[in-house]
Amino acid sequence: MTHSGKRSRIAGLGINLPSKILTNAQLEKMVDTSDEWILTRTGIRERRIADDGETASTLAIPAAQEALRRAGVAPEDLDLIVCATSTPDMSFPSTACHIQRGIGAKGCPAFDILAACSGFVYGLSVVDNFIRAGSAKNALLVASEIFSRIVDWEDRNTCVLFGDGAAAVVIKATESSSHVIDSRIRADGSYADLLTGGGGSASIVSAKQFDPKSHFIKMKGNQTFKVAVTNMAEVCSSLLADNGYTANDVALVIPHQANIRIIHAVAKSLNIPEDKMYINVHRYGNTSAATVPIAMYEAQEEGRLKKGDLVLLVAFGGGLTWGSALVRW
């Protein structure tokens, strides 16, 4: 495939967060935990919970519409729709196809990416390569998660961590100085058992054998923590070095919002001041693939993303998967 010479620019962002807030104090009444325990170990104060009738696509559509409006792109002008989600509406059609119908786009390819919490960074890398190859000029990348449906609300080690939310970005081909510089996405399936969610062909669904908890998240937290910090720091360091930058050149890091201790440990490993790490995990918990674009949206709204800034994105998730992207804002 011929390289087009074009680069990718993030042209518009949008988010959609459920209105229902579940605080640590409320969780204290549901499971054996405490606000102090959650806050000390995770940095989370509250999270958003989707309504019963909400799905990943219905949560995503308003975010996509806002991103399109801000980018000045009509749905019919999209060449590509990618949705990063671990909680799709159903096995098929893809959530991306449901979003396509919901926003009134037609004809362009639409598909899902399942890379757990790394999904948005994976998706950004995929879209960037489509644009660089000349296969798309206007793309919509959405991350939408409803993890409240797949957590065991009797398991205090997991239910306190996750929340629901959606975010979207419109990515356009550009020749401007504001663009995606480079990205790295990686995986190691030998760690697959550290963080899993059911509901696929490995789960037995029958009246005789059905396990109502078979689709819930299962996580080996301590082991996952160590692998996450090591690999997030390594992929960031290699991405910066390969492109001729150091940590000192970075204006803002937007990391996956899983746990405040992971964010602090990655900052320390990279020798990046913590005030350069954007943090909103206290408001939303871990919204999986949606954490990075939600944080990016809020950073822009707060004026923390300025034209010309070098911005580093990094995420880590089940698979195990991880990845990083370098963006000139």
Q: Which residues are catalytic?
A: 117, 256, 286
The answer for residues whose C-beta is within 8 angstroms of residue 23's C-beta and 6 or more apart is 35, 45, 46
Report helix, strand and coil shares of the chain as percent, to nearest 5: 40, 25, 35
The answer for residues whose C-beta is within 8 angstroms of residue 323's C-beta and 6 or more apart is 115, 118, 121, 122, 125, 183, 184, 185, 186, 235, 314, 315
315 with 255: CB under 8 angstroms? yes
**Residue with structure tokens 């219905």?**
58
Which regions of the chain does DSSP assign to beta strands (E)? 7-16, 20-23, 46-49, 80-84, 110-113, 138-146, 164-174, 179-187, 195-196, 218-219, 252-255, 310-317, 321-328
